[in-house]
Amino acid sequence: MKDMSVFALFSTLGALLAIALGVMFPALAMGRAISRALDALARQPEAEKSILRALFIGLAMVESLAIYVLVIVLIVLFRNPLLAYLLK
Amino acid sequence: MEQSQVIFRIGALLVTSTVAMTWGIMAILVLACWFGTRQLKQSPDRWQSALEGVVLTMQQAIEDIAPGKSPSLLPFIGSLWIYLVFANLAGLVPGLHSPTGQLSVTSGLAILVFLATHWFGIRASGWLPYLRHYVQPSPILLPFNIISEISRTLALAVRLFGNIMSLEMAALLVLLVAGLLVPVPLLMLHVVEALVQAYIFGVLALVYIAGGLEAHATDRADGDSPP
């Protein structure tokens, strides 16, 4: 049973650490992208449509990185494939 | 992450709640469009002008990204947009789940986009010029081009699935720890996120297809194919 508690402890810690890092860096990237887009918007307000479209696509790209982390974390927490070896 | 339960079976075919939801959405959309376009008039009534507004807006959005290509692209991209809006928002109805919260559904849509990219690209430029754009800047980039094709399809599927699934799960978790009516702000976020994700999926499909279409037109020196 000791194995089990160590396993639970480390997978929880790993998941928390992963989601913390995986949210932090995309947040920085999104902030940079938005600030640059606002710069461009202030300089060229007439190009608003194309700037915003590129911004949305870029934000979706960056955001999907955080989503990958979330999916991995959920797999580790709820459907950990390594658990089968431990229970055997 | 939960599996969808089986509702009924046709022979050896299991019909899960996800498939049933998809069929329901399809039936609603087809019936709405059929009733809306049964008797078209010069001076449109309310329903017809609403439908026309939707179609014209989508046509304009496609025209902005791929100029001159909207007649051929509108059926595919427009269907994606309309279906995804309804599918993403369906999770807000009590008792129903978004079909796009299942990885199999979004994978199917992403594979459709993957195939459509090549279909439109080959139809526009022919086999050889289309295949040549994979070795375009230099043949060394061939593996990277192929990897980018696969990874962007995967990213398309996982992005939509992850967003919709995590929204439903977040609302559920807040309901678990906080109680009734507390998840309502999260559900409002769900509305925004569902619309944005539907838009993003369609726009990315459009960008990929437009990239395949103009593969022969220019040697794309910038070499952008987002992952």
Helix (H) or strand (E) holding B9: strand B6-10
Once rounded to an integer, what is the mean pLDDT over residues B129-143?
82
Q: How far apart are CA A66 and CA A21, in angstroms?
A: 9
Q: Which residues of A, range 9-48, sit inside 8 Å of B by Cβ?
A: none
Q: Other CB atoms closer than 10 Å to residue B43's CB: what's the count?
A: 6
What is the per-residue pLDDT for A70? 87
% of chain A beyond a pLDDT of 70: 99
Classify each residue of B128-155 as buried b or exposed e, where b means 16 or more C-beta atoms within 10 Å of its C-beta.
Answer: eebeebeebeeeeeeeeeeebbeebbeb
pLDDT, mean of residues B127-151 = 85
Put simply, whether A2 touches B (Cβ < 8 Å) is no
Residues of chain B in contact with residue A74, where contact means CB-CB under 8 angstroms, are 1, 166, 169
Q: Give the residue with greater pLDDT, A37 vs B47.
A: A37
Task: Please say whether the beta carbons of B151 and B135 come within 8 A.
Answer: no
Asked if residue B111 lies in contact with residue B153, where contact means CB atoms within 8 angstroms, the answer is yes
Show Cβ contacts of residue A22 under 8 Å, excluding neighbours closer than 6 positions: A65, A66, A68, A69, A70, A73
Alpha-carbon torsion B74, B77, B83, B88, what sign?
A: negative
Closest chain B residue by Cα to residue A60: B200
Write down the mean pLDDT value for chain B: 84
Does the structure show a pLDDT above 70 at B219?
Answer: no
- In angstroms, the separation between the Cα of residue A60 and the nearest Cα of chain B is 7
Say what percent of chain B tops pLDDT 90.
27
Q: Is B60 on the interface with A (CB under 8 A)?
A: no
| Region of poorest pLDDT, from A28-32, B144-148, B176-180 | B176-180
For residue B14, report the phi and psi dihedrals to the nearest 5 degrees. Answer: -85, 130
Helix H segments across B90-215? 103-125, 127-132, 142-177, 184-213
pLDDT value at position B220? Answer: 44
Contact A56 B199 (CB under 8 A): yes
> How do residues B10-42 score in pLDDT, each as one tens digit?
777 778 888 888 999 999 999 988 888 887 777
pTM score of the predicted model: 0.81
Residue B222 has pLDDT above 50, yes or no: no
